[in-house]
A and B are shown apart, each in its own frame.
Chain A
Amino acid sequence: MSQNNKTHYQQLSSQMEPKRPLLINCFNAFWIGGLICVVGQCLQWFFIHYFDFNEQTAGDPTVAVLIILAILLTGLGVYDKFAQFAGAGTAVPVTGFANAMSSAAIEHRTEGFVLGVGGNMFKLAGSVIVYGTVAAFVIALIRTLLAQGGIAP
């Protein structure tokens, strides 16, 4: 088929493609992502008020609880259904990272603990860690240079 026809079909298929509900998706992501953060905030207060944590140290148990909850919901087969509705709302918070790791671990369980679970757990989460580390390095470098130049404190 000629190039002309190809372009014609590509145009036709994009015209007839059902549009992704971008506004609704953004709205749902906003309020559900926000709700997860509210839950996190409540957990943090809980740890500060009822346990021996301060504002700096309460972050650790809070994140741990959110991770456990996300993994539990992933294992129960609920998280993916919730995420279809919430989109980025469940992907961006720490729960998304927990889901990415645990879903890959569950998926490859039948291939064994070493090559299956261990080898595939970071299949999706790996690039977050790689590019998170690279980005942190670049930002730290810029900050150090700015500090050396006396621009930043």
Chain B
Amino acid sequence: MKLGKQSWRFENSPVISSAGTSAGPFEAQGPLATDFDVLYDELWLGETSFEKAQQMLFETACNQAMEKGQLTEEDIDFILAGDLSNQMTSTNFGCRSFTLPYIGVFGACSTSMEALALGAFLVNGGGAQHVLAGTTSHNAAVEKIFRYPTEYGSQKPPTAQWTATAGGAAIVSAQGNGPLITHATIGRVIDEGLTDPFNMGAAMAPAAVDTLKAHVNDTGSDLTQYDLVVTGDLGRVGRPLALELLKEEGIDIQPQQFVDTGILMYSEQQNVRAGGSGCGCAAAVTFGHLLKRLENGEWNRIFVIATGALLSPISYQQHETIPCIAHGVVIERGGKQS
């Protein structure tokens, strides 16, 4: 059921019946390594290009999700997925190996929650029994498109974020055991006129706040009802800005309740400057780390908002500002048996 202008309430409570994650060698050195299903010990993942490695991360996450949920391709109705590569080749090519109807979604780094929200909508309305929603990013494949060559010696400012090498996929089912998806809020494109591609956190913070505000207005819920409000990935620069904007908007939230997947992914010693980023960061941290802790009973209700910067290298060179978007999904501990 639609609530307000931008939100849905899923009265049939679709279930995240299973989830799979994959991560690269640098992420394997991070604090969340044990939460990921498959860890690779080298950046090429045994492939001949970083683009193929990115595809492999996606396929691995999807296969893990199906395996853990004891489901086969026969059971899945649709795949909803996307990535940051030009023409989303990694996801498109990855879906070549799955004989499943596929809907490509692009929301830059907000893709994980965009796919999850749409998957929940499909399942809630009876359009599918099982939907696979996932995304991926590979540090070297993404940096190649958006920034300089990976081995080029440019000095990155403290506001820069590190593209995570990770993939995450979740299976949204009409029945089953697992966390429930109760609400979703679809974001608007927000552009506050920022232009620095080495400061994505600051560019994306207003989009996250806009979606949070819409969620509060649409659902009438109060953010203090959530054990955790998670953004992905505002990083160390965007997070305090979002908190400041929320204060200005008069939306009540405790700083300890407001976490970010880009900050959770890496340790201080890993020196990723402002934190992690990339589609795979929010996906792997949410579907690996957060879901596990939710199922363990550490939290009951979390609101995950994935944020994306909708720029391209061309738009940046043409001096365009950076439009951003954020999509949020409410996940609750629970489950139901068929």
B-binding residues in A (CB < 8 A): 1, 5-6, 9-10, 12-13, 16-21, 25, 74-75, 77, 79-80, 82-84, 86-88, 90-91, 96, 99-100, 102-104, 106-108, 110, 123-124
Chain A positions within 8 Å of B50 at CB level: 110
Chain A positions within 8 Å of B240 at CB level: 16
**Which candidate, B8-16, B57-65, B153-161, B169-177, is the interface stretch facing chain A?**
B153-161
Partner pick for A107 among B151, B153, B274, CB 8 A cutoff: B151
Partner pick for B190 among A1, A75, A86, A91, CB 8 A cutoff: A1
Check B190 against A84 for contact (C-beta < 8 Å).
no
Partner pick for B206 among A9, A91, A106, CB 8 A cutoff: A9
Check B153 against A80 for contact (C-beta < 8 Å).
yes
Whether B122 is near chain A, meaning CB under 8 Å from some CB there, is no
CA distance A124 to B244 in the complex (A): 39
Chain A positions within 8 Å of B241 at CB level: 12-13, 16
| 17 A-B contact pairs sorted by A residue (CB < 8 Å) | A9-B193, A10-B193, A10-B194, A13-B205, A18-B274, A25-B155, A74-B151, A90-B153, A99-B152, A99-B153, A102-B151, A103-B150, A107-B149, A123-B149, A124-B148, A124-B149, A124-B152
Chain A positions within 8 Å of B194 at CB level: 10, 13
CA distance A17 to B194 in the complex (A): 12
Residue among A16, A20, A87 with the most chain B CB within 10 A? A16
The answer to whether residues A17 and B149 also contact, given A9-B192, A10-B193 and a CB cut-off of 8 A, is no
Chain A positions within 8 Å of B256 at CB level: none
Check B157 against A20 for contact (C-beta < 8 Å).
yes
CA distance A10 to B199 in the complex (A): 12
Partner pick for A99 among B49, B144, B151, B192, CB 8 A cutoff: B151
CA distance A17 to B158 in the complex (A): 9
Chain A positions within 8 Å of B274 at CB level: 18
The answer to whether residues A12 and B244 also contact, given A1-B192, A124-B149 and a CB cut-off of 8 A, is yes
Chain A min CB distance to B321 (Å): 9
Whether B285 is near chain A, meaning CB under 8 Å from some CB there, is no
Whether B202 is near chain A, meaning CB under 8 Å from some CB there, is yes
Chain A positions within 8 Å of B236 at CB level: 18
Where chain B touches its partner, the secondary structure class is loop
Check B153 against A79 for contact (C-beta < 8 Å).
yes
Residue of B nearest to A82 (CB): B153
Check A13 against B202 for contact (C-beta < 8 Å).
yes
Whether B237 is near chain A, meaning CB under 8 Å from some CB there, is yes
Whether B318 is near chain A, meaning CB under 8 Å from some CB there, is no
Partner pick for B199 among A17, A74, A77, A80, CB 8 A cutoff: A17
By size class, the interface of chain B is 20 to 34
Known: A10-B192, A96-B153. 11 other contacts (CB 8 A): A13-B199, A13-B241, A20-B157, A80-B152, A83-B153, A84-B155, A86-B155, A103-B151, A104-B152, A108-B149, A110-B49
Check B190 against A103 for contact (C-beta < 8 Å).
no
CA distance A87 to B153 in the complex (A): 8
Check A103 against B149 for contact (C-beta < 8 Å).
yes
CA distance A145 to B27 in the complex (A): 61
Chain B positions within 8 Å of A86 at CB level: 153, 155
Chain A min CB distance to B249 (Å): 11
Chain B min CB distance to A82 (Å): 7
The answer to whether residues A83 and B244 also contact, given A10-B193, A13-B194, A104-B149 and a CB cut-off of 8 A, is no
CA distance A138 to B150 in the complex (A): 35
Check A18 against B237 for contact (C-beta < 8 Å).
yes
Chain B positions within 8 Å of A13 at CB level: 192, 194, 199, 202, 205, 241
Chain B min CB distance to A20 (Å): 5
CA distance A87 to B48 in the complex (A): 31
Check A107 against B150 for contact (C-beta < 8 Å).
yes
Chain A positions within 8 Å of B159 at CB level: 17-18
- In the complex, which residues 101-145 of chain B have their Cβ closer than 8 Å to any Cβ of chain A? 144
CA distance A107 to B144 in the complex (A): 7
Check A83 against B155 for contact (C-beta < 8 Å).
yes
- In the complex, which residues 225-256 of chain B have their Cβ closer than 8 Å to any Cβ of chain A? 236-237, 240-241, 244-245
Residue of B nearest to A74 (CB): B151
Check A80 against B202 for contact (C-beta < 8 Å).
no
CA distance A25 to B157 in the complex (A): 11
Check A106 against B153 for contact (C-beta < 8 Å).
no
- Top 9 closest pairs, chain A to chain B, by CB: A83-B153, A107-B149, A103-B151, A103-B149, A103-B152, A110-B49, A87-B155, A13-B202, A18-B158
Chain A positions within 8 Å of B205 at CB level: 13
Check A106 against B244 for contact (C-beta < 8 Å).
no
